[in-house]
Amino acid sequence: MIYMRENALISVIVPIYKVERYLNKCLDSIVNQTYKELEIILVDDGSPDGCPKICDEWGLKDSRIKVIHKANAGLGLARNSGLEVATGEYVAFIDSDDFIDLNMMKRLYEEMVKRNADTVYCGLCRYDEDGNVIKVPMLYSGESFSDDKIVEKILLRMIGNKPENNNAPTFFMSVWHGLYSMSIIKEHNIRFPSERIFMSEDLSFHIDYLQHSQLVYVLPDCLYFYRVTQGSLSLAYDNNRFDRIKSMHLQTVKKLNLFLEEKQYQQIEMGRFLNLVGGQIYSIVRRNEKNMLTNVRKIVSDKMVQDCLRIYDYNKNPCGKRIFNFLMEKEWTILLIFVVRIKNALMKSVWRKNAN
């Protein structure tokens, strides 16, 4: 049984780096929440622009705000700095180029109390540079899960799907649309890894956290606005991405092995790994790199990739994925690049039609 008191303190941790253009809108949406029992922790991750000054100015205006200035170390470690000083019973993580509905904390906390939950997620919307708002479809809207079903329905669907459902939607893994129990985080000493090593610090956090969760509720309301810009880190090309994909796969398997049987997650995790590998190949071909053939061949012939392809049941994949994985397993690199170029050309054609 989870004990909850009325008007519990919520710590809101905001890691900040090079978002001078968007920071005031983000902080304004947090400070003006209808739920007032907030501890707002701004972590300036060595930002070289005007963000440190903006943080200090907000700190002078609102006594609920704590400001931390630190050397740049990345998003995950900035969140950890916030966790070290957080005193709330619950915690939320907001990215500093995004913003939230003024009722987000109130609605999340109300559902926590109403359902005696330790974790609540809300719906989210994409917000582009033209001000367009697009609601992102959410799995399990209005549903709740307890005990083993949390791992089965939430955690494993964050990771991916079984081979026969490879193209099906997954559960959004970012921490910024959730409210979490600090008692679980403290009891199990849960922290974020560096995203410079582990590609998705959010997935790592959820693996450590959700295995201890007792009840999760998914609120259908769209309360978090995720800003999409041309410079978004999540959309940017990364030369070290393949090494980070492999590191993430190894660490994910290691973590899951601690509380699950291999048969419960193996095909799902391998599918996620191979999807990310495929995405890296598409990115290389789309950029038409000088050493494109060499770089794709290096990925396709990698031992970890080939080991996964031998075990992963890709014959159950939808047709396109099945062909792609078959070409990777055979290491038919030139034909693979040809197929990717055709698909990229078709996608460009669709984009042009939609634009017109």
Kindly list the domain boundaries of the chain, sorted by start residue: 10-234, 237-355
pLDDT digits (tens, 9 = 90+) for 265-315: 999 999 999 999 999 999 999 888 789 999 999 999 999 999 999 999 999
pLDDT digits (tens, 9 = 90+) for 120-179: 999 999 998 888 999 999 999 999 999 999 999 999 999 999 999 999 999 999 999 999
Can you tell me the distance from the alpha carbon of 356 to that of 324, in angstroms, rounded to the nearest whole number?
A: 31
Q: 189 in the Ramachandran plot: left (φ > 0), alpha (ψ -120 to 50) or beta?
A: left
pLDDT on residue 351:
64
For strands 90-93 and 10-16, give the pairing: parallel
**Beta-carbon contacts of residue 251 (< 8 Å; ≥ 6 apart):** 193, 198, 204
pLDDT digits (tens, 9 = 90+) for 39-68: 999 999 999 999 999 999 999 999 999 999
Closest residue by Cα to residue 307 from 355, 246, 262: 246
When mean pLDDT is compared across 3-12, 25-34, 58-67, 104-113, the lowest value belongs to 3-12
Which two tokens mark 204?
């790592």
Fold annotation for 10-234: Spore Coat Polysaccharide Biosynthesis Protein SpsA; Chain A (3.90.550)
pTM listed for this prediction: 0.92
Can you tell me the distance from the alpha carbon of 200 to that of 183, in angstroms, rounded to the nearest whole number?
A: 23
